[in-house]
Structure 1
Amino acid sequence: VKLSALCPRYEATHEDRVWEELYPRTLRLARIAARHNLNFTIDAEEADRLALSLKLLDRLCREPELADWQGLGLAVQAYQKRCGAVIARLRALSEETGRRLMVRLVKGAYWDSEIKRAQVAGRPDYPVFTTKPATDLSYLVNARALIDAAPHLYAQFATHNAHTLAAVVRMAKNAGVKIEHQRLHGMGEALYKAADDLYDGITLRAYAPVGGHEDLLPYLVRRLLENGANTSFVHALLDERVPVEKVVVDPIDVVEAHPDRHAKIPTPIEVYGPRRRNAAGIDLSVLAERARLAAAVTALDAQTLSAGPLVGGRLTAGTPPLPVVSPANETRVVGAVSEALEPQIDQAFALARAAQPAWDRAGGTERARVLRAMADALEANTDRLIAILSREAGKTLADGIAEVREAVDFCRYYAVLAEDQFGEGELLKGPVGETNVLRLAGRGVFVCISPWNFPLAIFTGQIAAALAAGNAVLAKPAEQTPLIAAEAVKLYHAAGLNPDLLALLPGRGETVGAALTAHPGLDGVAFTGGTETAWRINQTLAARQGPIVPFIAETGGLNGMFVDTTAQREQVIDDVIVSAFGSAGQRCSALRLLFLPRDTADHIIDGLKGAMDALVLGDPASATTDVGPVIDGEARGALESHLDRLKREAKVLHALNAPAAGTFFAPVLAEIPAADFLEREVFGPVLHVVRYRPEDLEQVAGALAARRYGLTLGIHSRIESFAADVQRLVPAGNTYVNRSMTGAVVGVQPFGGEGLSGTGPKAGGPHALLRYAVERAVSVNITAQGGDPALLNL
C-alpha cells in the first residue's frame, strides 16, 4: 500500500494530520487484511517519509485487535544508506511487540529522484548510494541481516537479478531459514522458473500494480526505463553481446575495485563545480531542524529590530521612527524604521563616489573574495534571516529557506562572473603590429531599488551584481521590509566591504526613491517592482541632464500555463498549486492564467479544488503552513476588489477561508471567459482558468501575447510540437515545460522577462553584469617600440 495515495499530506511537517486522517484509514485496511489473513505491506517511498512510515508501523504493531495477525510488513530500500538501521529497528520492534513482521527488501525505485531532490535542496550528501554496485552490495549485506533476524522478521526478496537471487538462496540455506522471493507480474518468469528447477522449488509471490490505464501507464514506463538502463541486469541479460561473467558480476568485486561514490555524480554541495558551492539547505522533514528554526523565531520575538539610514557604516537619524508590523499578526511589532533624508542621500552619494574608483581598480578577483565572504556570512546567519523573513515579510519557512539560499547563490555566482569578466581583459584578433584589448569596468554609483516579495534575495542580488562589476551602491529596500535589508547591509560590511561602498537608504518610493533616481550623482538604476513604477523611473531618468544612464528593470507578468489533453493530471495539479498559490501568489513569476482544454478541464478543476482544500493557511513561522499572508492591507484590499469583480463578471469556482488575524487573502480559483479579461497582473493567490479548444490555440495564445507581458510561461504536454507551438505564440523570458513555473535557480535558470516584464539582462545569468559595466577598448601600436616580437619570432 502506497500511503501517499491515501493522504495528500503524508509528510513529516504534517504529522498531526497523518495521525488524524491517514492512520485511521491505514488501520481500517489492516483490519480487513487481518480478517482475511492477507499480507499488508506498507510501501517504501521517498527518503524524507521513512521516519514517518516507521512511526505508523510501530503504532499498528501495538494495536491489540491485530495481535494474532502475522501479515503486517514494510518494504525496505537497499539503496538507502539507512537500510541497515531500518532492519535493526524492525527486528527490535518485533521483539518488543511479539509480532512477526514481513519485510520486503527491494533495491529502490526513486533513485534518480532522490539524487535530484538532494541537489535541488542543497543537502550535505545523498540519502542513497550513488552507484549500482554499492546498492547491490547493500542488498546482500541487508539480506543477511534480514535472514539473521528470523523468526522475528519474515524475509521477502524482490529482485530480477540472477546473482542477487542466487546469493540470497545460499545465505538462507546456510542459515536454515525459509524465505520468500517476489517478482513483478510479467517479468522474471524465465529467471524464477530456472531457480525453481535448480533449487528444487522456491516460495515465489508475483505482484502486480492495480489501477486504471492512466494511473498505470507512468508506472509501466518507469519499469521500461529501469530495465533499459545500462546498469540494469535485465538490460545486460537480453544483450547477446554481453558475456555471462559480465551479466552475473559480483558486486563485492566491483565495490572493492571502485569503492568511491560515482565519479560523475558530485555531492549536492559540489553540483555547480569547484568554483561555486551550492547553497546549503534545511530539511524541514527533520524534527531537529524544525526545532532549531522555531528557537530562532522565539529569540527574534524577544528583540525589537531597527533600521534607518546607514551611511558610511554608521546609523544616522532620519525621520521619526515608524513601527514595522508583521503581516501575519498586525499587533506584533517586529521593529522600527526611520526614513532617509535628503542630506543623508547627498552624503551617501559623495562617499560612494569617492570610494568607487579604488574598488573598481581592485579587480574582479578581490571583489569575488568579498562576495564569497558575504555568501558565507548569509549561510552562517540562515536561521536568524529566516526568522526575520517570516515575521517581517510573512514568508513561510520553506520560502524563507529558499530565499536565503538564493541570496547565497547570487553572491557566489556573481563572484565567478567577476573573476571571469573583470580581469585583464579580452585580447581581440587583428592585424600584426598592434594589440587590441577589450576590458569591462564599473560605471560609478548604482541605485538599487528592491521589492518586498523577495526582500533578501533580490535586494542582495542587485547589490552583488553592481558590486561585482566594480560599482558602489545606494540601496533602497521596499518600505514594507526594511529590517531584513538592514541585516543584509550589516553582513556585507562585516564581510569586508568598505562601508562607503554600500549605503542603506530606507523610505517610500515617492520620497526617497524619487530623490535617488533624480540625483545628478547617479550612474545607473537597478529596479525590481511594478510596471507602472518602472515607467515613472524611466521617465525621470530620461528627463535628467547629463549622461544617459542604464536602467535595469525586472517587472511583473501575466503569466500563463497551457495544458493539453496528453498532460499527466496529477503532475499538472501539483505544479499549478505551487505556481499559483506558493508564496501566497506574491511572485512575479507566479501563474495567473491556466489554459485548459475543454475535454479535460472539469477533471483537472476537480483535482485543483481538492488540492486547494489540502493547503494550510496560517502562521508563516509554523512548518505546517503552506500559504502565509499577503504583504499588507493595501495588497489585500486590491485583491478583495478583484474578487468582487470576479463574482460579478466571471465565475468563482472555489475559494478557501482566510484566518481572521493578519492580512491574509485565501486562495481563489475562478473561471474567466478569455485572457483579455485581465488588463494587468493580479498580485496574489488568484488563479484564473480559461477553457480553450485545441483548434483555437493560436487565437487564445495570441490574446495573451497581445498584452505584451513576457515573464514566465508554463506548458504541460507529452507532445513536443505542442510545446514548440506555445513557445512560438507566447514570447516569454522563462519557459517551463512539465514542471512548476516558479523558483528559478541562479546560474541554472537565468531569470528575467521581456516587453512589459523587463529590460534584461537576466538576473543570475552569464550576461547579468554587463549593463552594470562600461566597455573600454585599448589599441596599442607595438611597432612603435621596434617591431612585433610575436611576428619576428615565428
Structure 2
Amino acid sequence: MVVQVGSAYELKTREIAQAILVQGARGERSFLGALRDQMRLDDKLMNWAMGNDSLRVQLFRFVDGLPSLRSKAEIARHLQEYLGEAEVPGLKGLLNFSKPDSPTGQIAATTVATAVETLARRYIAGDNIQQAIKSIERLRKERMAFTLDLLGEAVISEVEAESYLNRYLDLMAQLAQASKSWSRVPQIDEADGEPLPLVQVSVKLSAFYSQFDALDAASSAAKVSEKIRILLRRARELGTAVHFDMEQYAHKDLTLSTLKSVLLEDEFRTRTDVGLTLQGYLRDSQQDLEGLITWAKERGHPVTVRLVKGAYWDQETIKAYQNGWWQPVFNQKSSTDANYEALTRRLLENHEYLWAAIGSHNVRSLAVAIATAQELQIPKRRYELQMLYGMGDKFAKACVDMGQRVRIYCPYGELIPGMGYLIRRLLENTANNSFLRRSVEEGRPSEELLQPPVMEKTDGHGLQVVGFHGAANSDFSQAQPRQLAEQALAEVRARLAQTYNPWINGTAVTTADHLDSVNPSKPEEIVGRVGLASVEQAEAAVKAAKTAFTTWKQTSATQRADILRKAADLMEQRRQELAAWIVLEVGKPLREADADVSEAIDFCRFYGEEMERLQAPRSRNVPGETNEYHYQPRGVTLVIAPWNFPFAIPVGMCVAALAAGNTVVFKPAEQSSVIAAKFNEVLQAAGIPSGVFNFLPGIGEEIGPRLVKHPDVHLIVFTGSQKVGCQIYADAAVLQPGQKHLKRVIAEMGGKNAIIIDESADLDQAVVGVVQSAFGYAGQKCSACSRAIVLEPVYDAFVTRLVEATRSLNVGPADQAGTKVGPVIDAEAQARIQDYISKGRLEAEVVLEAPVPETGYFVKPTIFTGVKPDSMLAQEEIFGPVLAVIKASSFDEALQIANGTDYGLTGGLYSRTPSHIARARAEFEVGNLYINRGITGALVDRQPFGGFKLSGVGSKAGGPDYLLQFLEPRAITENTQRQGFALIEGADQ
C-alpha cells in the first residue's frame, strides 16, 4: 500500500497520531513512568548509553553479566573493567576506587546493582507470579489488558522443556484463580456484547522441544504438537487464551506450519482464543500473511494475529552476513515501518478471518491501525493494540483514553534468565532510529515523526562482504535445501557398491586387491569397492607427478587458479550429492556434511586467489641494479589425508599444493576413499592435466612408508594421529640415496582441547557450546572439546545442565534428519574408545552414558566428572564422544590445567569478565582460541586453522601464509650498468 501524503486516509492517520502525541504529552504518566520525573541513576545510565555508542556496548555488556556476579567486589571489579575508561564525569566519579573490595568499591557496586535492578523492573513485571499478578492488577485499574510471558533459561534439554510446559500449566491455573476476584472492566473484558478471556499467556513454541530444528521438521512438529495440545486443553478448562510468540527466522516456517496443522484438528478447529505472531521486519511477512488468510478461510474460525516489528534484527542481520545467506530482514527501519503499515491494512481488511493485535510503540503505526479500523468499521472484538510492559506507557494511556482496547505484554521471572529480554529492550530504547527515543528523549517535531515511511529498493541480496567471500552453507530452515538433500541421499543410495580404482597419470588403473568401504551407521551397507594401489603403482604415481611437474610449474598462477575455481563451481553444483556421500561413508550428519563441502569450495577459491597474489614478484630496485623476490614451486607433494573431514581437509591440502604449482600424489584414508574418488572426479572434470594429480587409495601401512621415504617427494602434507605424524616427521628427515633436497613436512596431529567456563559465563551459551563442540560428529573432530574446565562457583549448575542437554541429543544413523550424534568411523575406533571409557571408570565418575542404537559403530556419549588434570582422561586424545569435566578453584588454575597437555590446537573460554578474556588471549596456549562460542567449525580466511606443541607443525590452513610452505623463495639481482652507464629514471638528460 502506497500512501499519498495528501490523501484523506493519510490526513486521518496524522490526526489520530497527533491526538495520541498531545494526549500523551499532557496526560498523567502511568504508574510505570511516574518515577522518571526524578533523575535517578538508572535514568543516567540510559542517558549515558544514548550519548555514546561505544559506551552503550560496554554498559550493556556489563548489565548482561551482572546477575551472574556473586559478590559486591566482583561487581565493582567488572564495573571498572567495562566502564573504567569511559570519559563520563558522573560515571568516572562513581568508579574512583582503588580496590574492588574497598568501602568505596562496595558502595559503587551497591549503587549500580540497585540502579540496574530498578531499570529491569521497568520492563519485567515481577520476579514471581505473585508480583506479576500485582502488576497485572495495577494495569487493569488503568483499563489495560495483559498477556503474560514467562522468562526462563534457554531450553537446552528435555527436562527443561518439560519444566517449561509444567510452569505454564501452573501459571494458567494461578492466573485463573486470581481472576475470580477481579472486577470486570468493560473496555478490556468484553466487546460487541461478548465476554473476552480475562487471562492470556504467551508461549514460545521452540521451548517445548530442546531439539527443535527445521532440518528435522517432521519429528520436531510431532514433539511440539503434543505439548501444544496439552496446553490448549488445559487452557480451555481454565478459560485462558493462549498466544504463540515468534522467535528467530530459522524457526518461523516450522512454527507456522506446526500451529496451522494443530489448529486445523477437529478438537481445536473452533477455538478462537488462540493467537500467533508475524514479524513486520521480515521481507517475506506479506507472503506469510497471505498464507494465513487462505488457511483461516479454510479453517472457518478466526484466530488472532499479533503483528509486531520484530525483536531480533541485529541477530538476524549478523547471522545472514556471517553465513552468506539472503538477508531475511529489511535493512532500513523505514522499510520495516512501511511493510508494517501494509501488513496492518491487509490484516484488518480480513478481520472476518483473522483478528488483529497491533503491537507497536510507534505512534504513526498505531494511528494507521486505528484509522484503518475506523474506515472499515471493524467491530471492537476483531482488533486491539498491544505494547510492551514499561515501554511507551504514556502512549498506551493515551490510546486507552481514546477508547481503544490496549493489551500489555508482561514478561516476568528472575533477573538472570530475563537479562536477554532486558538487553533487547534497552537496545530498542536507545537505538538512534527508535520512535520512543526520537519522540521522548530527543523531542523531534511531530511533522518529522509522522512522515510516511519509505520502502527500500534492496532485496536482501548483495550484502557487501569485506575480504574473501566464502561459500554459503545450505540454509536448512528453508524447504528447498531440505528437499534437495533428501533427493540426493536417495540418488546416491541407488549408486552404492560401485568400484573406484586409483587414477595415475590421467587414467584409471586396475588393482589386484579391493577394500569395501561401508556405512558406519549401517555396516552391512557397502558404499563402494575401492581398488588398493600396490607399491609398484605408488612408484608409478610419483614418477607421473615428477614428469608432469616440469610443465605444471610453468603454468601461470591464474591458469592454475582458474582450474581450481572451476572445480569449486562443480562442487557447488554437486553440493547435495557430495554431502550425501559424506553422510553415508563416514557417518557425518547432514548439516556438518554440507559444511564440509563448503569448506572444500572455499579452499579451492581462496588458495587460487592467494597464489595470484603471491605470483607478482616483489621488486626493490636501486640505480644500476634490479632486485626481484619471487616464489617457485617445490616439486612432488605427497598428501596423506584423514577421514574425519573427508572432503574439506583433503581438498584443502591438495589444492594448496596445486595452486602453488606442485604436483600431487594423494593417498586418502581407507575409510573415506569413495569421497576421495569423488574429489578426483571433480578435478578431472575441471581440466587438471594428466599426471598433475594422482589419486592413490591404498593401505597406509603398505604404501605410506615407501611414499614418505621416496627421494622424488619434496613435500609431505599430513593430517592424522600424533603417533603417525611423528613417524612421518622422522622418516622424512632421513636423506635417501639420490635425494638432493630436504623434505618439508606439514603435519596436523590432533589435540586435547579444553573449554574454560568461569563464574561470569552465560551458562545457556556455555552448555550449548560445550555440547556441540564435544559431541558434534561424535567427538571425531581434531578441534573437538574433550575437556571442560569449570570454575567451582558454577560447577554444579553447569554439570547438571550439561548432562541433561547431552542426554537430550538425538543419537542415531547419520542419514536421519534429527541426528545430532552419529556413529564413530569403524569397529576399531569403537573398540578403542570403549576401552578408554572402561579405563576411565577407574579414575573418575561416569555421570552420563547416553543410549545408542544396537547396530552400527555407535559409542555412548559419555561424560566423566571428578577428573584429575593429570589423569589419562585429561591427557590422552580419545577421539570420540567422551568429555572430561574438571573443577578449578580459580581462573589461574583453570588456565594452568588448560595448558597442561602436550597439545596446543584449539581452546575456548566462556566468560563475561574482560580481564579473563584478556588473559586467555595472552596465555591460553592454542593455535585457535574461541571466546564465547564453540571451538569447532573454523572457516577459511576467517579462522585459519592449526596449532603448535604436539598438535602439529606448519602454518595455518586457510591463512595468508599457508601457501608459502609449498613454495621456494628466490632472490634475483642483476647489475644493469654497462661500461659505467645505466638508465636512471627521472635523472636530467
TM-score bracket, normalised by the shorter chain, equals over 0.9
Q: Distance in 2 between matches of 1:356 and 1:191?
A: 76
Q: Paired residue for 1:183, among 371, 384, 387?
A: 387
Q: Tell me if 1:773 matches 2:975.
A: no
**1:242 Cα deviation (Å)?**
5.5
Q: Paired residue for 1:583, among 777, 788, 797?
A: 777
Q: Tell me if 1:301 matches 2:502.
A: no
Per the alignment, do residues 679 and 67 of structure 1 end up closer, same or farther by CA in structure 2, a change over 3 Å counting?
closer
Give the 3-state SS of the residue equivalent to 1:321 in structure 2. strand
**1:380 Cα deviation (Å)?**
1.3
For residue 416 of structure 2, what is the aligned residue in structure 1?
A: 214
Preserved contact between residue 711 and residue 734 of structure 1 (Cα < 8 Å): yes
Give the 5 Å matches for 1:129-144: 129-144=330-345
Q: Tell me if 1:161 matches 2:362.
A: yes
For residue 558 of structure 1, what is the aligned residue in structure 2?
A: 752
Preserved contact between residue 253 and residue 477 of structure 2 (Cα < 8 Å): no
Give the 3-state SS of the residue equivalent to 2:904 in structure 1. coil
Give the 3-state SS of the residue equivalent to 2:930 in structure 1. strand
Q: Distance in 2 between matches of 1:592 and 1:46?
A: 30
Q: Distance in 1 between matches of 2:258 and 2:510?
A: 58
**1:63 Cα deviation (Å)?**
4.6
For residue 236 of structure 2, what is the aligned residue in structure 1?
A: 34
Preserved contact between residue 37 and residue 69 of structure 1 (Cα < 8 Å): no
**1:475 Cα deviation (Å)?**
0.7
Letter in 1 for 2:607: Y
Q: Paired residue for 1:237, among 415, 439, 450?
A: 439
Q: Distance in 2 between matches of 1:49 and 1:67?
A: 23
Cα shift readout 1:335-385 (whole Å, capped 9, x = no counterpart): 112222233222222222222233222222111111100101111112221
Q: Tell me if 1:202 matches 2:395.
A: no
Residue range with higher mean Cα deviation, 368-377 or 155-164:
155-164
Aligned-pair identity in percent equals 34
For residue 354 of structure 1, what is the aligned residue in structure 2?
A: 547
**1:245 Cα deviation (Å)?**
4.5
Letter in 2 for 1:498: P
**1:394 Cα deviation (Å)?**
1.2
For residue 674 of structure 1, what is the aligned residue in structure 2?
A: 868
Give the 5 Å matches for 1:653-668: 653-668=847-862
Residue range with higher mean Cα deviation, 651-660 or 345-354:
345-354
Larger Rg: 2
Q: Paired residue for 1:281, among 464, 473, 476?
A: 473
Residue range with higher mean Cα deviation, 306-315 or 527-536:
306-315
Q: Distance in 1 between matches of 2:778 and 2:492?
A: 23
Cα shift readout 1:702-736 (whole Å, capped 9, x = no counterpart): 23323231111110011121122234332111111
Cα shift readout 1:3-55 (whole Å, capped 9, x = no counterpart): 12222122233344445432232222223333444331111122232232223
Preserved contact between residue 867 and residue 884 of structure 2 (Cα < 8 Å): no
**1:585 Cα deviation (Å)?**
0.5
Structure 2: 5+ residue runs without aligned partners? Answer: 1-202
**1:204 Cα deviation (Å)?**
1.2
Q: Tell me if 1:787 matches 2:787.
A: no
**1:791 Cα deviation (Å)?**
3.8
Structure 1: 5+ residue runs without aligned partners? Answer: none
Per the alignment, do residues 522 and 152 of structure 1 end up closer, same or farther by CA in structure 2, a change over 3 Å counting?
same
Preserved contact between residue 471 and residue 601 of structure 2 (Cα < 8 Å): yes
**1:64 Cα deviation (Å)?**
4.5
For residue 79 of structure 2, what is the aligned residue in structure 1?
A: none
**1:665 Cα deviation (Å)?**
0.8
For residue 395 of structure 1, what is the aligned residue in structure 2?
A: 588
Q: Distance in 2 between matches of 1:259 and 1:17?
A: 38
Q: Distance in 2 between matches of 1:245 and 1:780?
A: 73
For residue 172 of structure 1, what is the aligned residue in structure 2?
A: 373
**1:521 Cα deviation (Å)?**
0.3
For residue 888 of structure 2, what is the aligned residue in structure 1?
A: 692
**1:436 Cα deviation (Å)?**
1.8
Per the alignment, do residues 191 and 433 of structure 1 end up closer, same or farther by CA in structure 2, a change over 3 Å counting?
farther
Q: Distance in 2 between matches of 1:498 and 1:190?
A: 74
Q: Distance in 1 between matches of 2:413 and 2:506?
A: 65
Give the 3-state SS of the residue equivalent to 2:637 in structure 1. strand
Q: Distance in 1 between matches of 2:257 and 2:927?
A: 46
Letter in 1 for 2:985: A
Q: Give the TM-score, by structure 1 length.
A: 0.94
Letter in 2 for 1:792: A
Letter in 2 for 1:478: A
Q: Tell me if 1:152 matches 2:353.
A: yes
Give the 3-state SS of the residue equivalent to 2:821 in structure 1. coil
Letter in 2 for 1:787: A
Give the 3-state SS of the residue equivalent to 1:649 in structure 2. coil
Give the 5 Å matches for 1:424-503: 424-428=616-620, 431-503=622-694
For residue 619 of structure 1, what is the aligned residue in structure 2?
A: 813
Cα shift readout 1:723-759 (whole Å, capped 9, x = no counterpart): 2223433211111111111000111111110111111
Residue range with higher mean Cα deviation, 443-452 or 776-785:
776-785
Give the 3-state SS of the residue equivalent to 2:694 in structure 1. strand
Residue range with higher mean Cα deviation, 80-89 or 139-148:
80-89
Q: Distance in 1 between matches of 2:677 and 2:788?
A: 38
For residue 957 of structure 2, what is the aligned residue in structure 1?
A: 763
Q: Distance in 2 between matches of 1:447 and 1:4?
A: 49
Q: Give the TM-score, by structure 2 length.
A: 0.76
Letter in 2 for 1:91: I
Per the alignment, do residues 67 and 465 of structure 1 end up closer, same or farther by CA in structure 2, a change over 3 Å counting?
closer
For residue 260 of structure 2, what is the aligned residue in structure 1?
A: 58
Give the 3-state SS of the residue equivalent to 2:713 in structure 1. coil
Give the 3-state SS of the residue equivalent to 2:287 in structure 1. helix
Residue range with higher mean Cα deviation, 556-565 or 170-179:
170-179
Give the 3-state SS of the residue equivalent to 2:336 in structure 1. helix
CA RMSD, Structure 1 to Structure 2 (Å): 2.2
Preserved contact between residue 131 and residue 261 of structure 1 (Cα < 8 Å): no
Preserved contact between residue 70 and residue 101 of structure 1 (Cα < 8 Å): yes
Give the 3-state SS of the residue equivalent to 1:145 in structure 2. helix
For residue 579 of structure 2, what is the aligned residue in structure 1?
A: 386
Give the 3-state SS of the residue equivalent to 1:322 in structure 2. strand
Aligned residue pairs: how many?
A: 777
Cα shift readout 1:83-104 (whole Å, capped 9, x = no counterpart): 1122222223332223221111
Preserved contact between residue 789 and residue 898 of structure 2 (Cα < 8 Å): no
Q: Distance in 2 between matches of 1:213 and 1:4?
A: 21
Letter in 1 for 2:259: L
Per the alignment, do residues 432 and 604 of structure 1 end up closer, same or farther by CA in structure 2, a change over 3 Å counting?
same
Per the alignment, do residues 703 and 566 of structure 1 end up closer, same or farther by CA in structure 2, a change over 3 Å counting?
closer
Give the 3-state SS of the residue equivalent to 1:676 in structure 2. coil
